[in-house]
Chain A
Amino acid sequence: KAGVTQTPRYLIKTRGQQVTLSCSPISGHRSVSWYQQTPGQGLQFLFEYFSETQRNKGNFPGRFSGRQFSNSRSEMNVSTLELGDSALYLCASSPPYSGANVLTFGAGSRLTVL
């Protein structure tokens, strides 16, 4: 069974640009969550999508957005990049039942903003 796939693995952008990251969950998983990991702030929840609907949202500015497609693949977008957006962005998927599910994480997308 393929794991959670995130693309691209590495990318470099400059301030003011925008970026789109992609996440393909494990087959059959309908929930996709996104996390930002930085040395200063640690791991912070961005948002979660379930069946194409945003189910939870963390405390991030509106520059951070996401969406989920009918095949459960998800994208997140960051517009007007700032230096502080440099981070490892992790995506996780979980199976379609209620309760506290076990998340399976992808390898992450390392974003560097210059």
Chain B
Amino acid sequence: AQTVTQSQPEMSVQEAETVTLSCTYDTSESDYYLFWYKQPPSRQMILVIRQEAYKQQNATENRFSVNFQKAAKSFSLKISDSQLGDAAMYFCASPNNAGNMLTFGGGTRLMVKP
């Protein structure tokens, strides 16, 4: 069974600063994907970034990037130039390879201070 752990229940960052959210996972799969989803107060889950495990290069999407350490099974999310609209719950997730079943971490609530 896959497990995904987010050790930071809550984080805060000053507007325009950089913050890193941590995630560790455990999987027996050799090829897999990892995701970060954002859930703002409106509740709709939005994909932030996706990393394919066989790719050594860390994924980047504008101000969002990941630090993927496959051997350590670590998948952290870095948000640069934080904006007020980044305030949300962030969930790390990993799918199994038999469809679209995602295992989510417990989430990190990010607060952005103006």
Contact = CB atoms under 8 A, between A and B. Distances in A.
B58 to A, nearest CB: 18
B56 interface: no
A26 B47 CA distance: 15
Contact of B99 (A56, A88, A108): A56
A55 B99 contact: yes
Interface string B81-111: 0000000000100011111111111110000
B90 to A, nearest CB: 12
Interface residues of A, number: 25
B100 A103 contact: yes
Contact of A56 (B32, B46, B98): B98
A102 B50 contact: yes
Nearest to B44: A107
A66 interface: no
Contacts of A106: 44
B45 interface: yes
Task: Say which size band chain B's interface belongs to.
Answer: 20 to 34
Contacts of A100: 32-33, 95, 97, 100
B99 A43 contact: no
Interface string A91-114: 010100000111111111000000
Interface of B: 32-33, 35, 37, 42-47, 50, 91, 95-107
Given A45-B102, A90-B45, 12 more contacts: A31-B100, A45-B103, A50-B99, A58-B101, A100-B97, A100-B100, A101-B100, A103-B45, A103-B102, A105-B37, A107-B42, A108-B44
24 contacts: A31-B100, A33-B102, A35-B102, A42-B104, A42-B106, A43-B102, A44-B104, A45-B101, A45-B102, A50-B99, A55-B98, A56-B101, A90-B45, A92-B45, A100-B95, A100-B100, A101-B100, A102-B47, A103-B45, A103-B100, A105-B37, A105-B44, A107-B44, A108-B43
